[in-house]
Structure 1
Amino acid sequence: MPGGLVALLDDIAALTKLAAASLDDVGAAAGKAGSKALGVVVDDAAVTPRYVTGLSPKRELPIIGKIALGSIRNKLLILLPAALLLSAFAPWAITPLLMCGGAFLCFEGAEKVIGAFQGGHGAEETETFDDPAHLEQSKVAGAVRTDLILSAEIMAIALADVAAEPIWEQAIVLAIVGIGITVGVYGVVGLIVKLDDIGLHLAKKSSAAVRATGRGMVKAMPIVMEVLAIVGTAAMLWVGGGILLHGAEVLGWATPAHIVHHWGEVAAHALPAIGGLIGWAVGALAAGIVGLVVGGVLALGIHKIRH
């Protein structure tokens, strides 16, 4: 009897170690999959603050909270089940769908570049509401609809990275990525939209240094938003182009990806001291150029169709 108990305890210990190792694998997979969604995440953080412009500062954080809850519903109740069904019954469709998302990222990035060269993004349609509550509701609904597209891209990128894993691990990784990215993005967004208020608060303090810091924060906000928009556009083109290159390689057209990889190796050998960084930068630049070209063609074609 004691021997049987010892054996049982050994089995429990072994299962515990196996479970811990599995959780470590899940955590590593979630981190890797989430990092590949960087371009969409940056764009999400750059886009969302505009949904609280023109509203009462007291309502900014509650509105960001509503959008975040809508984003979690999008990811966990709509996109997660859809992704698991796709993985179980049509795994062959993951790469083409991911490439469609990559092409959309390229299109969005190219639209912003074209708009910048044209001196703006064009006239935007604005809705007027007599009731602030209706305006807030409209803003939240619009943000959640936009988030559904961005979240679909995030989940597709994450799914492609864990498509070979068991279905339960896919579900956990996608849930971790979805919740983690949502909390991170909207936490940063909440901080961004409140930085000017924090600066104004500091500008009223008695200390001259603190007042100067507060005034500097207020003056820096337009620059921060501009830089964030530029980084978001570059990230969309880089990630979108990279998705297209990788997808083409998976589907059998490996030449473009091999050319980019070769350029990265040549650059890395030319500067061995920082070879890894240079190789990555060349690959990212090449992917960004591919994204800009593909996105530009799509944007011009869509504009022609609209006209």
Structure 2
Amino acid sequence: MAGATLLTLLDDIAALLDDVALMTKVAANKSTAMADDVAVLSKVAAQKTAGVLGDDLALNAEQVSGVRAERELPVVWAVAKGSLVNKVILVPAALAISALASWLITPLLMLGGAYLCFEGVEKLAHKLLHHGAPHDAGAPPAQAHAATDLAAFEKERVKGAIRTDFILSAEIIVIALGIVALAPLSQQVATLSVVALAMTIGVYGLVGGIVKLDDIGFWLLRKRGAPAQALGRALVAAAPRLMRFLSVAGTAAMFLVGGGILVHGVAPLHHAVEAAAAAVAQGALGGLWRLLATNLLNAVAGMAAGALVLGLVSVVQKLRGA
């Protein structure tokens, strides 16, 4: 009896091990399939958000420029950490809002778009109104604040960059969420996490490289080889031009992204922009003309919205002061 019981137990254990092996194989196949699906969805999401990532890169490079050379990478690192915190907040928030109150997504995005436009108009107004001020005569912002608290200036730069990153990250997360909306929840979480992590590493890795471009050039100039020195001279000459371009591109991106969000959220305005863009899409370069017209109209709408918000903020500030 005891022998029969032992044999039965061993048979049950063998069967259980077979079941475990089978279930492990099935789970591995499912995990592999899920990983493949996440990779495909992440690739599509990255392609869809590439334009916004370009704006994110220009904006953040412009935001962290102007600090002292030895503080550039610490500032980029501080903004990158803030960006990761933004993603930790945005990914679960986007999933929760999408599941419970999807109608909130567009108004919240429009609120962020209005803030971007306001910030862009405020920058333009500051440059125009203070154009003749002594500290703007070619001196970098950090030098202009040499007599003040540079730590406070740096902190304000980081805070501004993180605020801007929050809005751009929200749009990227929402675009990615729209791509995986019909996928299982586990795939949605995995895809959004991959996109959020990849965009943070990619954008701030590039920003770090851009702000240290001149240092790389000076390092190459100290090398003995003629090709290295030639490349170093080219980088040193290109670095200030690139930063000036990114400063302009960063401000323009505020209107392009913010205006695009606002136009997309107002159906009649969105249809009007599409109709106007379609009207100029003629000839072999029709697609290019359509893209340029759409972006131009989005930027104009963004500037108008930003001027309106700036006017309202100015009135409220005067009333509070009175």
1:205 correspondence with 2:223:
yes
Per-residue CA distance 1:137-177 (angstroms, 9 max, x = gap): 55444433443333333323333443343333222222112
Q: Kindly indicate whether residue 304 of structure 2 is the aligned counterpart of residue 286 of structure 1.
A: no
Query: Does 2:66 match 1:53?
Result: yes
| Structure 1 residues 129 and 41: alpha-carbon distance in aligned structure 2, compared to 1, 3 A threshold | farther
Superposition pairs of residues 151-300 of structure 1, within 5 angstroms: 151-244=169-262, 246-248=264-266, 255-256=271-272, 259=275, 262-263=278-279, 267=282, 270-271=283-284, 278-279=286-287, 281-300=288-307
CA distance in 1: counterparts of 2:132 and 2:116, whole angstroms:
17
Question: Per-residue CA shift, 1:65-97, capped at 9, x if unaligned?
Answer: 222122111211x22222222122101222333
Name 1:87's counterpart in structure 2. 98
2:76 to 46, 55, 64: 64
Q: Which residue of 1 aligns with 2:308?
A: 301
Q: Does the residue aligned with 1:211 lie in a helix, a strand or coil?
A: helix
The change in CA–CA distance for 1:103 and 1:58 in structure 2 (over 3 A counts) is closer
The structure that has the greater radius of gyration is: 2
The reply on whether 1:22 has 2:34 as its aligned counterpart is yes
Match of 1:44 among 38, 44, 56: 56
Give the structure 2 partner of residue 148 of structure 1.
Answer: 166
Query: What SS does the corresponding residue of 2:210 show, helix, strand or coil?
Result: helix
Distance 2:98 2:132 in 1: 38
Q: Please tell me whether the aligned partners of residues 86 and 166 of structure 2 are also in contact (alpha carbons under 8 angstroms).
A: yes
Deviation at 1:297, TM superposition (A): 1.7
Q: Which stretch shifts more, 175-184 or 231-240?
A: 231-240
Q: What is the RMSD of the two structures over their aligned residues, measured on CA atoms?
A: 4.0
User: Structure 1's 131 and 303: CA in aligned 2 closer, same or farther, altered over 3 A?
Assistant: closer
Question: TM (normalized to structure 1)?
Answer: 0.74
Greater displacement, 186-195 / 289-298: 289-298
**Can you list the C-alpha shifts for 1:35-78, whole angstroms capped at 9, x where unaligned?**
443444333323334435342x33322332222122111211x2
Q: Which residue identity is paired with 1:88?
A: A
Structure 2 runs not aligned, ≥5 long:
1-10, 316-322
The amino acid that maps onto 2:194 is I
Quickly say closer, same or farther: Cα 1:95–1:139, change in 2 above 3 A.
closer
CA contact (8 A) 1:237 1:287 kept: no
Q: Is the 8 A contact 2:255 2:300 kept in 1?
A: no
Q: Look up the match of 2:318.
A: none
Distance in 2, matches of 1:209 and 1:21, equals 48
1:162-210 residue CA offsets vs partner (Å, 9 max, x unmatched):
3343333222222112111110111001101111011111122223332
In structure 2, relative to structure 1, the CA distance for the partners of 1:180 and 1:206 (3 Å cut) is same
The worse-fitting range, judged by mean Cα deviation, of 169-178 and 217-226 is 169-178
CA change 1:290–1:120 in 2 (3 A) is: farther
Contact 1:86/1:93 (CA < 8 Å) preserved in 2? yes
Q: Take 2:132 and 2:262, find their aligned partners in 1: how far apart are those partners? A: 26
After TM superposition, the structure 1 stretch with the greater mean CA deviation from structure 2, 175-184 or 239-248, is: 239-248
Q: What's the secondary structure of 2:107's corresponding residue? A: helix
Q: Distance in 2 between matches of 1:132 and 1:245?
A: 39
Find the aligned partners of 1:91 and 1:24 in 2 and give their Cα distance: 28
Query: Does the 8 Å contact 1:61/1:190 carry over to 2?
Result: yes
Cα distance, 1:8 vs structure 2: 7.3
**Within 1, Cα distance between the matches of 2:44 and 2:131?**
36
Q: For residue 297 of structure 1, what is the amino acid of its counterpart? A: A
1:25–1:223 Cα change, 3 Å: same
Which stretch of the first structure deviates more once superposed, 285-294 or 137-146?
A: 137-146
Q: Identity over the aligned pairs, expressed in percent? A: 39
Separation in structure 1 between the aligned mates of residue 160 and residue 302 of structure 2, nearest angstrom: 24
Distance 2:132 2:35 in 1: 45
Say how many residue pairs are matched.
Answer: 294
Whether the 8 Å CA contact 1:42–1:232 is kept in 2: the answer is no
> Is the 8 Å Cα contact of residues 158 and 174 (structure 1) preserved in structure 2?
yes
Give, as a single letter, the amino acid of the residue that structure 2 aligns with 1:293: V
Q: Which TM-score applies when normalising by structure 2?
A: 0.71
Q: Distance in 2 between matches of 1:102 and 1:35?
A: 21
SS in 1 for 2:64: helix
SS of 1:201's equivalent in the other structure is helix
